[in-house]
Amino acid sequence: MGLLALRGAITCDEDTKDEIDAKTQLLVKEMMSRNDITHDDLVSIIFTATEDLTATFPATGARALGLGDVPLLCMRELNVRGGMPRCIRVLFHFNTDHSRDELRHVYLGDARTLRDDLPE
C-alpha cells in the first residue's frame, strides 16, 4: 500500500453555508466513491476556496460526513484574473493499492472545464 494524492474541484451557485457544505460533501463523496477510498484510507485533505466564497469553511461540510478525525485544512485559492469563480478545490492524500494511472480525479459543475484532459 502506498500514499497517493487525488485532485478534485466543484463550483458553487451562491455563497451560502448550505451551498458550500452541500457542494463540498458532493465532491468528497464522489472522489471517495470513484476511487474506492474508505475513511481509514484518508491521511489528510486540503481545501481551497476562491475569494468569493466566504460563508463557511469547506472543511465544515467534510466534518459533517464523519471526517472530523481526518486532518483537514482550508486555504484561500490564488486570485488570478479570469480564474474560475465560486470554486472549491480539493487535494486528498490517501493510502491505496491502486497505481497513479488508475486514479479518477473528479471535477464537477463548471469546474469540469478546468481539466478537459480527464474522462468523465
Q: What is the pLDDT of residues 22-59, one digit of tens each?
A: 999 999 999 999 999 999 999 999 999 999 999 999 99
Domain ranges of the chain: 2-114
Given a cut of 80, whether residue 119 has pLDDT beyond it is no
Q: Which of 62, 80, 52, 67 is nearest to 8 (CA)?
A: 62
Active site residue 76: no
Catalytic residue among 30, 34, 63, 104: 63
As given in the structure block, the three cell numbers for residue 71 are 486532518
Active site residue 86: no
Active site residue 7: yes
Dihedral sign from CA coordinates of 111, 116, 118, 120: positive
What CATH number has the domain spanning 2-114? Answer: 3.30.1330.40
Q: Which amino acid is at 46?
A: I
Q: Which of 60, 58, 106, 66 is nearest to 86 (CA)?
A: 58
* CA of residue 59 relative to chain centroid, distance: 10
Q: Which residues of 64-93 are buried (b: 16+ CB within 10 A; e: fewer)?
A: eeebeebebebeebeeeeeebebbbbbebb
Catalytic residue among 12, 86, 87, 89: 89
Q: What is the pLDDT of residues 58-96, one digit of tens each?
A: 999 999 999 999 999 999 999 999 999 999 999 999 999
Catalytic residue among 12, 77, 86, 87: 77
Active site residue 112: no
Active site residue 100: no
